[in-house]
Amino acid sequence: MIANSKKLDSLQWVLRLTYGFVPLVAGLDKFFNVLTRWEQYVSPSVARLLPFSTSAFMHVVGVIEIVAGIVVVSRFTKLGAYVVSAWLTLIALSLIVSGHYLDVAVRDAVMAVGAYSLGVLSGALEDSRSQAPSHAARHFPASA
């Protein structure tokens, strides 16, 4: 049981790093456009509805991604993982509806499944830790 627990903790840690730092890096890059020119991913129909420029929109997106990434690596991993999963799903759906960048849409959909899996795993680990007897209770039974 302890060996499995260590494997699950290790798996959760790798997923936390992945789904914490990828959104953080992508969010920061919304301000610098080193990885790509992010505005190109905004659907023209969405861009027409925005009350501000697509660049400003991507800055807002960047802030959301930065916050989501920080939440994933914090003690609120489960919440952050579900937020990242929903966010990636919305991005994938937006790209599918636009009919452009379908390869990115597929990648984001797969990443959304991974983030969701991190949320489920984190919840299961939280539950198992809350149900496990404390270290002291295992060694010092309650007196009658």
State the SS3 of 99-116.
CCCHHHHHHHHHHHHHHH
Looking at residue 45, its pLDDT comes to: 87
Contact 80, 20 (CB under 8 A): yes
Q: What is the pTM of this model?
A: 0.86
Angular region, 33: left φ>0, alpha ψ -120 to 50, beta rest: left
Q: Give burial (CB, 10 Å; 0-12/13-18/19+) of 118.
A: buried
- 74-109 pLDDT tens trace: 999 999 999 999 999 999 999 999 999 999 999 999
Structure confidence at residue 132 (pLDDT): 73
pLDDT higher than 70, residue 141? no
Asked if 112 contacts 88 with a C-beta cutoff of 8 angstroms, the reply is yes
Residue range 49-79, pLDDT digits in tens: 999 999 999 999 999 999 999 999 999 999 9
- Number of Cβ within 10 Å of residue 55's Cβ equals 14
- Distance, in Å, from the CA atom of 90 to the CA atom of 29, rounded to the nearest integer, reads 19
Q: Which has the higher per-residue pLDDT, 46 or 2?
A: 46
pLDDT for the residue numbered 84: 98
